[in-house]
A and B are shown apart, each in its own frame.
Chain A
Amino acid sequence: MSDVQSALRDRVSTMRPAARVEKLRQRYTKIKNKVVIDVARILTRTMKETEGEPLVVRRAKAFAAIVRGVPVNIYPDELYVGWLWSEPRGSEIFIKYTDLEKELDTISTRKYTPFLLDDADKRILKEEIFPYWKKYFYSPIIPPEAKKMGIRKAPITPVLFHYVVNYEKVLKRGISGIKREAEDRMARLDLTDPDDIKKVPFLEGVIVALEAAAEIGERFAAKARELAAMEREEKRKEELLKIAEICVRVPANPARTFYEAMQSVWFVHMMVGWEAGFHGGQSIGRADQYLYPFYERDIREGRLTEELAQELIDCWFMRFSQMFSLLPENEAVFMSNHTSAHHIDIGGLKADGNDATNALSYMFLEAMMHTPGMVEPTIGLLVHSKTPERILIKACQLTALGGGYPQFINNDVLVDNLLSRGATSGGKPVSLEDARTFGGCVGCHEPSLHTMESGWTVGQNQHLAALMECVMTNGWCRVHNTRRGLETGDPGQFKTFEEVREALRKQIIHRMKVGAIAANLGEELLQPTLFTSALTEDCIENGTPREEGGARYSLGAVSFDGAVDAGNSLAAVKKLVFEEKKITMEQLCTALDHNFKGYEDIRKLCLEAPKFGNDNDYVDEQVAWITHLTTEEAKKYLSRYGGTKYPIQVLLSSFVPLGMGVGALPSGRLAGEPLSDGVSPTVGSDTKGPTAVLKSVGRLNNAEVGLSQTLNMKLDPVIFTTDEGFKRLADLIRVFVDQKVDHLQINVVSSDTLIAAQKTPEHYKDLVVKVAGYNARFVDLHKDLQDSIIARTEHGL
């Protein structure tokens, strides 16, 4: 933390962090990332041993073996037990990353986010784990028709991610209570009904999984008692005995206290990861809501003080930040220290449409102030027209500290979004009360109906910028010199702007179909989950896992990118070629073919054409048209397990590598340059500042983009020189709500600081920047990405 930032933190934070919090925080930042294979090893071995049994039963047994077999470690000073991957900074190995197998030897020495890896573990990975999973995930059959459309390999998506399981139910009934529910369902099956017979293996599996899950607490309790017996220090001994007492109780039984509830949620979250892997987006949900009754009762009955509660929250928060996704090198370059986006929502609405903010909402924000340098949890404030000014100001104060949190999620748009789904998510239309109560985000900031959704996978990105290039090349990709899209005709022959748009329309329609097919192929590889399904409504009642449509709502996803680049390009073509007639289509195509080299005059015209993000209808309506079309097309396709596919434009930092594959565009963008990030304006083109950006994005029909699109904004910290700055930002957020923009993440950091950080990275390890939907340490980022973050137009003064 820089001096300026720590001074600001002292000004806005309402409570000093407990000594333990600072001690742990310091400790965590020093630990190196490490590959931990316990889960993968146990899973693989069990799968081998159970060959021949029904898949649901095998997965259930594997889950049970993991819960009973992973090492039980308790670390000094910690108030909670259990690490997702055995230890802080441990990371699972994503079996889906085929490239990782080849990189095992260099993983601990590579430049971006290296991970330590034991030699013995490496051998097990090479000899047992990768070879086993290959046959499942590496060779799906691609139908000849799909091959013809250019689908060469199916995206490997072994699990559904992006969901929130029913933590509240665990807190109220305990895992054992839910197990009884499954047993009861089994007893109620009508075995004369063939449909019910099919449910037997799943329910059997659920019971096996929940039985094991209920034992997790006892394993840690035993360890805590053992350590307590050896502990010399009285205070720590007490803490360990307290931990033992809690673990005996949860998650098997309902939680009685706030502390128990927090540990119980953590256990469940951990086990969700063990079963399904943290491929991203397994989220915590509206924790301030379901934890509040426990907090309130403890405070009322004198069991808990605010200080202790804050310490518990701070420590809990830091646990989410201690695992980075192990990515293959080509991805790690752009997504260093990529985390899994454990999203937590705060604030929001109650079922009756009133504001739901409570004391915990504030304390969660405070926890983020206490733990600088931590990149998780991905915290979002659900803002709506009734959000109290006080929580909004607190959120803006956290924003001012520069970590990029909280994200602002427009709750009013979220409700519109969920209601507008109608029957497209596989179940009956969402009720207004459910939309308010269970509406929240998952992952980076994707809208979701918590506890009742299947989760989804992102099959394959559809590159709209590349499709715009295809319009200008009759389907050709200039960078790779191959056919990429449809042949929509010689662009030189287009006589009207409508013909250009029609060509893009055809390209998009075609590509979304390809995307749907690719996603379908990926969805075929899903393996059922038992524990996670049991905690998703209504899988037990339906006797069916999430992966087969057991959830109350199921949906798929088709991801797209480059809507802004394509829209800027359309506007430039419309203005320069068809309205002002300054250039012809042929001249423009030639200039693009040469990446504007020797055609600087044309590029100048292109750059001066209207750009999205400046409150200019002329171009905004092009982007809106593209977004709408893409959305409509996505929703035409069903997902395997019910519901339609939903559009999403959340790119993390892939807008940088994706840009490398796209040639010059009529927007004036050169070949290889980064694409725009979600609906954020193209770097450097938003010359009018944040107000114009919000107006432009507000012009899009954001509620219809089912899984949202990212808006990132950078603010100069100079607006916070006086306390008035917080209020100004809060006012800006009010307009964000008014204008129906659905997501906003604000990065407050000066470019001078960033440039300094490039020069002396060792001094700036604390510097967390928003990349796109997730946050990362700036110094860990690739130089290109650093540069593009710096270049993003400075707003403010």
Chain B
Amino acid sequence: MNELKGLIYNLQPFAVHDGPGIRTLIYMKGCPLRCLWCSTPQTQKMGYEIIHIESHCRKCGRCAEVCSNGAIMIPPEGNLMIDRKRCTYCAKCIEICPHQALELAGKYMTVPELFDEIEKDQPFFRRSNGGITMGGGEATMQHEFVAEFLKKCKQHYIHTAMETCGHIAWEHLEKLLTYLDLIYLDIKHMDSPMHKTLTGVANDFVLDNARKVCSSHPVIFRIPVVPGINDSYENISATAKFAAAMGENLLRIELLPYHQFGAQTYFRLGRKYELSGIEPPEDSHMRRLKILVESFGIKAQIGG
């Protein structure tokens, strides 16, 4: 039997900012969007990725020796180069690297395997009214697997939450909602063409899904506040106005200040960080945006 497997980037126990209580955050691989500010680019691709941790690397050359695809080059100056088009993710280089400088992002797990892992923290969920949160990447991309997994969580009385970009066919999302207690939905930009420029897709799906989800489930909107990109009063007002029409199920808007913790990861994936010039928003600006949102009668919070 071909057992259902999910591709998972990582599990983060003791997550405290992504839903009530102490939670385990599950980073799924794959995302239909390519947000410029993404802080976890290693989760975007639906498939394995090689991460090279330059600070651990001693350029010993062992990885290049074992790579039968000739995907690794070690220039005399500067960083090791991986030709990711040639790489077949055989992981030989990772096994051989004596300095833990290479990592494989991505791990296939069955539903019971993943459940066994998260179940370890049941004593913490129970004490804190916590649970699990599906994140990523975009968990809905692996909706079949995620549905099975969430179903199992609910069978065991575990609180479930999911973060989603909202860009997904409604029937898939609807299936997941059956097993979800709380939804975090990103509203990245209210202007559709702008949304497309920033994330690669238009926002009509997102807004439409938002309306539907709010009709049945408690929802929290999240806005990654990126200076000069979506932090204008105009855009935030538009979002708040949209939220105000959602009714009681919309619990609040969380304004997440943009940060650069992920910048390094782009480099480690051999990618370029497009937003390098942008600084995190000023605290005072964040506070003003919070007040702005609240003026629409919507609860607001800075940070998760």
Cβ contact of A738, chosen from B13, B15, B21, B127, cutoff 8 A:
B127
A690 touches B14 (CB 8 A): yes
- Distance, CA A747 to CA B32, complexed state (A): 40
A600 touches B99 (CB 8 A): yes
A728 touches B128 (CB 8 A): yes
Cβ contact of A721, chosen from B13, B21, B121, B303, cutoff 8 A:
B303
Residue of A nearest to B24 (CB): A691
Q: State whether the Cβ of B12 lies closer than 8 Å to any Cβ in chain A.
A: yes
Given contacts A728-B22, A732-B22, A795-B14, contact A691 B124 (CB under 8 A): yes
Q: State whether the Cβ of B272 lies closer than 8 Å to any Cβ in chain A.
A: no
Q: State whether the Cβ of A231 lies closer than 8 Å to any Cβ in chain B.
A: no
Given contacts A724-B16, A796-B14, A797-B16, contact A735 B21 (CB under 8 A): no
Give the chain B neighbours of A725 by CB distance below 8 A: 16
Give the segment of A155-163, A212-220, A601-609 that binds chain B. Answer: A601-609
Give the chain B neighbours of A603 by CB distance below 8 A: 98
Residue of A nearest to B303 (CB): A721
Number of A interface residues at 8 Å Cβ cutoff, please give it. 28
Cβ contact of A797, chosen from B17, B120, B121, B127, cutoff 8 A:
B17
Chain A proximity of B39: nearest CB distance (Å): 12
Which of A604, A692, A735, A795 is packed against the most chain B CB atoms within 10 Å?
Answer: A735
B98 touches A731 (CB 8 A): no
Q: State whether the Cβ of A722 lies closer than 8 Å to any Cβ in chain B.
A: yes
| Interface positions of A from 693 to 726, Cβ below 8 Å from B | 695, 719, 721-722, 724-725
- Distance, CA A724 to CA B41, complexed state (A): 29
Chain A proximity of B103: nearest CB distance (Å): 12
Cβ contact of B120, chosen from A695, A719, A738, cutoff 8 A:
A695
Instruction: Digitize B64-106: 1 where CB-to-A-CB distance is under 8 Å, 0 elsewhere.
Output: 0000000000000000000000000000000011111000000
B21 touches A601 (CB 8 A): no
Cβ contact of A735, chosen from B97, B127, B301, cutoff 8 A:
B127
Q: State whether the Cβ of A734 lies closer than 8 Å to any Cβ in chain B.
A: yes
Give the chain B neighbours of A695 by CB distance below 8 A: 120, 123
A contact face: mostly helix, strand, loop, or mixed? helix
A796 touches B98 (CB 8 A): no
B98 touches A734 (CB 8 A): no
Give the chain B neighbours of A797 by CB distance below 8 A: 15-17
A796 touches B13 (CB 8 A): no
| Interface positions of B from 268 to 304, Cβ below 8 Å from A | 301, 303
Instruction: Digitize B168-212: 1 where CB-to-A-CB distance is under 8 Å, 0 elsewhere.
Output: 000000000000000000000000000000000000000000000
- Distance, CA A767 to CA B259, complexed state (A): 27
Given contacts A731-B21, A735-B127, A738-B123, contact A691 B98 (CB under 8 A): no
Given contacts A719-B16, A732-B22, A795-B14, contact A604 B123 (CB under 8 A): no
Residue of A nearest to B16 (CB): A728
A731 touches B127 (CB 8 A): yes
Q: State whether the Cβ of A567 lies closer than 8 Å to any Cβ in chain B.
A: no
Give the chain B neighbours of A735 by CB distance below 8 A: 123-124, 127
Give the chain B neighbours of A688 by CB distance below 8 A: 13
A734 touches B96 (CB 8 A): no
A692 touches B127 (CB 8 A): no
Give the chain A neighbours of B21 by CB distance below 8 A: 728, 731
Residue of B nearest to A616 (CB): B120
| Interface positions of B from 9 to 57, Cβ below 8 Å from A | 12-17, 21-22
Give the chain B neighbours of A689 by CB distance below 8 A: 12-14
- Distance, CA A690 to CA B121, complexed state (A): 10
Residue of A nearest to B21 (CB): A731
Give the chain B neighbours of A731 by CB distance below 8 A: 21-22, 124, 127-128, 130
Chain A proximity of B25: nearest CB distance (Å): 9
Give the chain A neighbours of B96 by CB distance below 8 A: 601
Instruction: Digitize A660-697: 1 where CB-to-B-CB distance is under 8 Å, 0 elsewhere.
Output: 00000000000000000000000000001111100100
Q: State whether the Cβ of A565 lies closer than 8 Å to any Cβ in chain B.
A: no
- Distance, CA A495 to CA B121, complexed state (A): 37
| Interface positions of A from 104 to 134, Cβ below 8 Å from B | none
- Distance, CA A735 to CA B130, complexed state (A): 13
Chain A proximity of B107: nearest CB distance (Å): 14
Instruction: Digitize B128-157: 1 where CB-to-A-CB distance is under 8 Å, 0 elsewhere.
Output: 101000000000000000000000000000
Chain B proximity of A490: nearest CB distance (Å): 28
- Distance, CA A722 to CA B302, complexed state (A): 9
- Distance, CA A689 to CA B120, complexed state (A): 12
Q: State whether the Cβ of A358 lies closer than 8 Å to any Cβ in chain B.
A: no
- Distance, CA A692 to CA B122, complexed state (A): 11
Chain B proximity of A317: nearest CB distance (Å): 31
Q: State whether the Cβ of A168 lies closer than 8 Å to any Cβ in chain B.
A: no
A692 touches B120 (CB 8 A): yes
Give the chain B neighbours of A654 by CB distance below 8 A: none
Residue of B nearest to A600 (CB): B98
Given contacts A603-B98, A691-B121, A728-B22, contact A734 B16 (CB under 8 A): no
Q: State whether the Cβ of A615 lies closer than 8 Å to any Cβ in chain B.
A: yes
Residue of A nearest to B99 (CB): A600
Residue of B nearest to A731 (CB): B128
Q: State whether the Cβ of A542 lies closer than 8 Å to any Cβ in chain B.
A: no
Give the chain B neighbours of A758 by CB distance below 8 A: none
Give the chain A neighbours of B97 by CB distance below 8 A: 604
- Distance, CA A601 to CA B22, complexed state (A): 38
- Distance, CA A688 to CA B97, complexed state (A): 23
Residue of B nearest to A608 (CB): B100
B100 touches A604 (CB 8 A): yes
Chain A proximity of B99: nearest CB distance (Å): 7
Residue of B nearest to A795 (CB): B14
| Interface positions of B from 212 to 243, Cβ below 8 Å from A | none
Residue of B nearest to A596 (CB): B98
Q: State whether the Cβ of A739 lies closer than 8 Å to any Cβ in chain B.
A: yes
- Distance, CA A615 to CA B24, complexed state (A): 14
Instruction: Digitize A723-756: 1 where CB-to-B-CB distance is under 8 Å, 0 elsewhere.
Output: 0110110011011001100000000000000000
Give the chain A neighbours of B12 by CB distance below 8 A: 689
Chain A proximity of B184: nearest CB distance (Å): 15
B22 touches A691 (CB 8 A): yes
Give the chain B neighbours of A796 by CB distance below 8 A: 14, 16
Give the chain A neighbours of B303 by CB distance below 8 A: 721-722
Which of B21, B97, B121, B303 is packed against the most chain A CB atoms within 10 Å?
Answer: B121
- Distance, CA A691 to CA B15, complexed state (A): 10
- Distance, CA A725 to CA B21, complexed state (A): 9
B14 touches A691 (CB 8 A): yes
- Distance, CA A695 to CA B24, complexed state (A): 15
Instruction: Digitize A760-797: 1 where CB-to-B-CB distance is under 8 Å, 0 elsewhere.
Output: 00000000000000000000000000000000000111
Chain B proximity of A594: nearest CB distance (Å): 14
Residue of B nearest to A727 (CB): B128
- Distance, CA A727 to CA B129, complexed state (A): 11
- Distance, CA A734 to CA B120, complexed state (A): 16
Give the chain B neighbours of A691 by CB distance below 8 A: 13-14, 22, 120-121, 124
- Distance, CA A690 to CA B100, complexed state (A): 23
Which of A721, A725, A728, A796 is packed against the most chain B CB atoms within 10 Å?
Answer: A728
Chain A proximity of B11: nearest CB distance (Å): 8
Give the chain A neighbours of B22 by CB distance below 8 A: 691, 728, 731-732
- Distance, CA A692 to CA B123, complexed state (A): 11
- Distance, CA A719 to CA B14, complexed state (A): 10
- Distance, CA A689 to CA B14, complexed state (A): 7
- Distance, CA A11 to CA B301, complexed state (A): 18
> Which residues from chain B sit less than 8 Å from chain A, CB to CB?
12-17, 21-22, 96-100, 120-121, 123-124, 127-128, 130, 301, 303
* New A-B pairs, 12, CB < 8 Å, besides A691-B13, A731-B128: A690-B14, A691-B121, A691-B124, A695-B120, A722-B303, A725-B16, A728-B21, A731-B124, A735-B123, A795-B14, A797-B15, A797-B17
User: Would you mind naming 19 contact pairs between A and B with Cβ atoms under 8 Å apart?
Assistant: A600-B99, A601-B96, A601-B98, A607-B100, A689-B12, A689-B14, A690-B14, A691-B13, A691-B120, A724-B16, A731-B21, A731-B22, A732-B22, A735-B124, A735-B127, A738-B123, A738-B127, A795-B14, A797-B16
- Going nearest first, the 8 A-B pairs with the smallest beta carbon separation are A600-B98, A731-B128, A734-B127, A689-B14, A728-B16, A691-B13, A731-B127, A689-B13
